Amino acid sequence: MTGDGHRGHYIVCGGNALAHRLVAELTEQYEVPVVAVVPDRERDHGPRIGRLPGVAAVLEYGAVTEEALRAAGVAGALGIALVDGDDQQNIHAALTAQGANPGIRVVLRMFNQRLGEHIERLLPNCAALSGSATAAPAFANGVLGRPHSVPVDGRYLYIAYDGDIGEGRLCLVADRIDRQDLSRLRLLPETAGRAAEFIALARRFGDNGPPGADPSVPPVPPGGQDGLAALQALASEPPLGIPWTSRLRWSLLDALRYVTGVRMRLVLSTAFAAVLLSTAVLYLAHRDLGWTVYLALLDLAGAAQPDDPGQTGPGGIWARAAQVVITFCGITFMPVATAVVVEALASGRRGVPRAPSAGVRGHVVVVGLGSVGIRVATLVQETGVPVVCVERDPQARGIAAVRARGIPVLVGDAPLESQLRRARIHKARALAAVTSDDAANLEAALEARAVRPDMRIVVRLFDDDFAHHVYATLGNVASRSVSYLSAPAFAAALMGREVLGTLSVYRHVLLIAEVAVDATSGLAGQDVHGIEQPGGVRVLAVRLARRPADLQWNFADRAHRLQAGDRIVVAATRSGLARLATPVPPGAPAPAPPPPRSPEPGTGPEPQSSPEPPAVSP
C-alpha cells in the first residue's frame, strides 16, 4: 500500500523490543491504526510486529529516510514514534517528518537526555523519552531492596504491600494477591467509594494501622489470607535500608581507590601501621599523650633532633628506634601524599581500568553494560552502594562510561562463572542481569544463585513465556522488561498525554499520569467520581484552574464537575489510561460517565492491565 492510502494513523519506526511493545500498546489499548516501519521483516522483532492484529501495514526500510516516511503516509499521520537507531538518526528523521507534516506529533527515543530536552524545546509538538531511563529505576530499586517511587509535586508515590502499608496511603491498587497464584491479582479493584478502601485496610490491619505499628496487632502469617497493595506518598524518597556507617565506609574506600593504586595502598597501609606502633612505644616511654603526639608529628615531618653520644632519654633504645621508624615512614608519606594530590587535581584516575578490590563487599553486581546497564550502575552508585560490572563485549560503549565514574569493570569472554567470582559475587548483596539476551540473563541469575541461594536477583526478560517459567522455577528472582515498562509512557506521549512515571505491581504496570481537562479530552463536565473506572483509573489529586499552584490530594468533593483548564493526577492501568487519553473527535459528544458502581467491594471486572506472567521480588 502506498503512503497515499494511509490517513489518521500513527507510525512506529523500529524493529526492536520497544517498537514491538509500542505497536501492541497502540493497537490493543488505544485501538488506533498503526503503520510499522522495520529494518527487516525477518529479523529481530520484525516477524512479531507483522503478526500483531490491528497493524495497518508493515514496511521494510533499512533506514528511516524521506522515502520510507512518504511510503508510511507521514503527510496524513497523526503521530510518529522513532524508537530505533541512535540519537542522531532519530533527530534527523524527526526533522524530516515535521518538514513533511508540521502538525504531526513526534516521539523519539533519546539516550542523551540533556540533548533530548533541547530537541523538545526546538521542535514543536515533540517529546523525547529514554526507554532505559524510564525502566532503570525499577531495576536499581529492585536490587537495592526498596520500592521504586515516582515524584509528583514534592511527594514520592510508591507501592507498599501488606505490613508496609502505613498512614500515608492514597488508595488501594491491588487485592487478591496470592504469592502462590498471582493470576488472581487485580489492579485498582472495584470499591464502594473511597472510604471502602480504608475500611478494608482497617479490617485487615486493625484501626491502629499495619502490623508493627501496634504490638497488639498480630502480623499476617505468610501464605495466609490474600495480600493487599496500596499506593503511598512520602515527603521524601523511600529510605535505603543501609546503615550510614556502612555507606560512610564505602565512600571512604571508594575515594581511596579513586586516587591510589593497589601497590600504593599497600605501602601506605604498612607505613601507617608502623607509625601507630611506634607512637605507642613513645607513649609507653613518656606516659604523656600530648608530648607523644608532639614528638610523633615532628618525627613524621622529618624534624627529629638526634640525641648526642652518651645522652639518654625516656624509653632508651626502644624510644629511639620508634622515632627512627616514624621519621622514615614520614619520608615515605610525604612524596606519596604529594603524588596523590597532584594526580587527583591534574589527570586523576578516571577511566583507568581496575579490578574490584579484595575488600569489596555488600556491593551490587551488574551484568551487561548496554544503555540499561549504564543507568542501573549509575543509579546504584549514587546511593553510595559499591558496584562491580561484568561485560563480555570489549567494544561495549558502557565500559568507558562506567569506568569514568570509577566503577570497576570485568571485561572478556571468560566463562561467566569465573567472571562472577572475580566480581566477588559471594560477598555481593544483589545481582542485576540486564543484557539484551534473555538466556544470558538467566545464566547469570543461576550462577549467582548457585553461589548465594538467598541473594537478591533482578533479571531483564522480554519473552512472556520464558518469564513465566523462570518465576515458576526460581521463586526468589524478580523479572523486569524494559520495553514493557517504557512502552506505556511512549504510547501516552504519542497520544499527547504526560506520564509522570511507571510503578510495578509484580510484573503488572501501574501508570502515574497528569491529564489536562480540555475540550478534546472529553473530561470537561464530568465529576471525579465518574472519571474513575474499576480496574482502570483512580483519581489521586486535582489541580483546579482557578488555583493552579495547589495540587489537592484525595480531592474531597467527588461530585465536583471538572472544567477546561483543570488538571488531574491519576493512577491507571494501561487500558485505563488509554480510555482516558483517547481524544474526542471535533463535534462528537463527550463520552457518557460509567454506569453506577456495585455497592459491594471486590465485585468489579478483572483488570486488563497485562497479559504477562507475574514475577516477584525476593
CATH number at residue 48: 3.40.50.720
Say yes or no: 224 and 270 in one domain.
Answer: no
DSSP code per residue over 189-245: ---SSHHHHHHHHHHHH-TT-SBTTBTTSPPPPTTSSPEEEEEEEESSPPPP-S-HH
Query: How far apart, in whole angstroms, are the C-alpha atoms of residue 64 and residue 68?
Result: 6
Q: Is residue 253 included in any domain, yes or no?
A: no
Label residue 592 exposed, middle or buried (CB < 10 Å: 0-12, 13-18, 19+).
exposed
**Domain stop point among 483, 512, 536:** 483
Say yes or no: 104 and 65 in one domain.
Answer: yes
Query: How far apart, in whole angstroms, are the C-alpha atoms of residue 388 and residue 386?
Result: 7
Taking only the tens place, the pLDDT of each residue in 562-571 is 888 888 999 9
Q: C-alpha distances in angstroms, 588 versus 20, 515, 520, 522, 594? A: 32, 20, 9, 9, 18
Query: How far apart, in whole angstroms, are the C-alpha atoms of residue 194 and residue 199?
Result: 9
291 vs 283: which has the higher pLDDT: 283
Residues with Cβ within 8 Å of 551's Cβ and at least 6 positions away in sequence, in order, are 152, 153, 541, 542, 543, 569
The position carrying cell 528523521 is 93
Say yes or no: 9 and 117 in one domain.
Answer: yes
Q: C-alpha distances in angstroms, 434 versus 374, 439, 440? A: 10, 11, 9
Q: Is residue 122 included in any domain, yes or no?
A: yes
Taking only the tens place, the pLDDT of each residue in 46-83 is 999 999 988 999 999 999 999 999 999 999 999 999 99
Say yes or no: 524 and 457 in one domain.
Answer: no
Q: Domain limits at 442? A: 364-483
pLDDT of the residue at 462:
80
pLDDT above 60: residue 208? no
Question: Among 108, 130, 132, which Cα is nearest to 119's?
Answer: 108
CATH classification of the domain holding 289: 1.10.287
Say yes or no: 456 and 510 in one domain.
Answer: no
Indicate if the alpha-carbon torsion angle 280, 286, 288, 294 is positive or negative: negative
479 vs 520: which has the higher pLDDT: 479
Say yes or no: 460 and 571 in one domain.
Answer: no
Q: Is residue 587 included in any domain, yes or no?
A: no
Q: How confident is the model at residue 186 (pLDDT cuts 50, 70, 90)?
A: confident
Q: Is residue 70 included in any domain, yes or no?
A: yes
Label residue 367 exposed, middle or buried (CB < 10 Å: 0-12, 13-18, 19+).
buried
Q: How confident is the model at residue 431 (pLDDT cuts 50, 70, 90)?
A: very high
Say yes or no: 479 and 493 in one domain.
Answer: no
Answer yes or no: are the C-beta atoms of 106 and 35 closer than 8 Å.
Answer: no
Query: How far apart, in whole angstroms, are the C-alpha atoms of residue 162 and residue 177?
Result: 10
* Domain count across the chain: 5
Give the number of other CB atoms < 10 A from CB of residue 379.
20
Q: How confident is the model at residue 592 (pLDDT cuts 50, 70, 90)?
A: very low
Residues with Cβ within 8 Å of 294's Cβ and at least 6 positions away in sequence, in order, are none
Q: Looking at this protein, which amino acid is placed at residue 411?
A: V
Helices (H), 549-591: 574-581
Q: Is residue 293 included in any domain, yes or no?
A: yes
**What is the arithmetic mean of pLDDT over 167-171?**
80
Q: Is residue 595 included in any domain, yes or no?
A: no
Say yes or no: 118 and 209 in one domain.
Answer: no
DSSP code per residue over 600-613: STT-SPPP-S--SP
Q: C-alpha distances in angstroms, 96 versus 18, 69, 347, 600? A: 22, 8, 43, 54
CATH classification of the domain holding 570: 3.30.70.1450
Say yes or no: 107 and 9 in one domain.
Answer: yes
Q: How confident is the model at residue 599 (pLDDT cuts 50, 70, 90)?
A: very low
Instruction: Quote the cell numbers at residue 355.
Output: 579490578
pLDDT of the residue at 77:
93
Query: How far apart, in whole angstroms, are the C-alpha atoms of residue 436 and residue 432?
Result: 12
**Domain stop point among 86, 102, 129:** 129
Say yes or no: 221 and 326 in one domain.
Answer: no
**What is the arithmetic mean of pLDDT over 562-588?**
76
Query: How far apart, in whole angstroms, are the C-alpha atoms of residue 566 and residue 584?
Result: 17
Q: Is residue 248 included in any domain, yes or no?
A: no
pLDDT of the residue at 476:
67
Say yes or no: 114 and 10 in one domain.
Answer: yes
Say yes or no: 382 and 472 in one domain.
Answer: yes
pLDDT above 70: residue 190? yes
Q: Looking at this protein, which amino acid is placed at residue 62?
A: G
Indicate if the alpha-carbon torsion angle 380, 382, 383, 388 is positive or negative: positive
Answer yes or no: are the C-beta atoms of 7 and 76 closer than 8 Å.
Answer: yes
Assessment of whether the complete model's pTM goes beyond 0.85: no
The position carrying cell 607505613 is 271
Largest CA-CA distance found in the chain, in angstroms, rounded: 111
Q: Which of 135-139, 189-193, 561-565 has the lowest mean pLDDT?
A: 189-193
Helices (H), 346-437: 371-382, 398-403, 416-422
Question: Among 186, 194, 354, which Cα is nearest to 263's?
Answer: 354
Q: Is residue 245 included in any domain, yes or no?
A: no
Buried b / exposed e along 51-88 (16+ C-beta atoms within 10 A): ebeebbbbbbbeebeeebbebbbbeebbbbbbbbbebe
What is the average pLDDT value for the chain, to the nearest integer? 77
